[in-house]
Amino acid sequence: MNKKTLQLLLRVIVSATFLFLVFRKIDFRMLYVTVRGCYLPLAVVSIAIAVLLSFLLSARWLVLLKGQAKSGRIRFLSIWKLTMIGQFFNNFLPTGAGGDIAKVFYLVRGEENKLLLGSSVLIDRFIGALTVITMGVLAALFTATIPLGIRYLLSLILLFLLFILVFFSNRKIASPLYSGVRRIFPGRMKETMENTYNVFNRYFSARRWLLAALGLSFLMQSISIFTNYLMTMSLLWGKSSMPGINLFFIYIPLIWASTMVPSLGGLGIREFTYVYFFSGAMGKENAFALSAMFLISVLIQSIIGAFIMLLLKER
């Protein structure tokens, strides 16, 4: 068995294991009642909003690229197409961010500064993580019922992300840390590390473009979390118990972070964490139905990405 086959098998096992754990918890008769009672117009609107958020996601990436590169290929429509192709490949490549590999591949072909352009995908992911975790921490601070463990976990993740931001944006702070580490590595690797740091520093030092990307990210993440809230409203339509929106700002960031575990595009892990975090507030069946609705929006974007792939001259 070669390495690629083994990796795929492991991802299948991870996804299948978590799906099995979820299915063991679900009463499918209750799930059927939940789905039948869903308010369809609101469900359709919320799924449509989730799909349309790909335009804001593309705009955030475009802003970062515009701050560094003047290539004629870097236009909004081109970036949106690459974003959708990335959504398609997320289903096959490791973790829920595996499609970033495909985005980098198509972005840098024919370009001279491949490292500079390719790094934009990582910076884009970082900004997304920073904004959504920041919102999660703020929501947790104003929610007395949230366990301390959740608060500490979100705070630790935020501190780590802020450290990365400061490290790559301030050479004076990074220099003492880097000078101690560079002695360990051979010359070729030191050169690679220096080039990588310089590229990341360029993105983090472009304050105007960075702030614009952060603003777009906060807007997009807020709408995305609110979309999950709308999906829940459609599932609980006509019922008295509706979880507070603050819970979504706390738990959704953790659910998104969990999809970074190697699997089939986050399948299984995403559904398990939805049920784990939201079952206490809305019941296991409703939480699973919510994860299924979000999965539908992901699949729609994947289908759009597959269609774009078919129209590409180079596949």
Instruction: List, run by run, the mean pLDDT of 10-residue segments along the chain (315 residues).
Output: 72 84 86 88 95 94 83 79 87 65 81 83 90 88 81 90 88 74 67 82 88 93 94 86 87 83 79 90 91 92 90 67
In 3D space, the residue among 54, 228, 221 whose CA is nearest the CA of residue 127 turns out to be 221
Residue 17 domain flag: no
Domain limits at 129?
A: 27-311
Residue 153 domain flag: yes
pLDDT of 73 reads 63
pLDDT of 178 reads 67
Residue 88 domain flag: yes
Which phi and psi (to 5°) does residue 94 adopt?
Answer: -60, 140
pLDDT of 182 reads 63
Q: Specify the number of domains making up the chain.
A: 1
pLDDT of 200 reads 87
> For 109-150, what is each residue's pLDDT tens digit?
777 778 888 888 889 989 998 998 998 888 888 887 788 888
CA dihedral 141→146→149→150, nearest 10 degrees, is -70
Residue 130 domain flag: yes
pLDDT of 294 reads 92
pLDDT of 224 reads 93
Cβ–Cβ < 8 Å for 301, 52: no
pLDDT of 187 reads 65
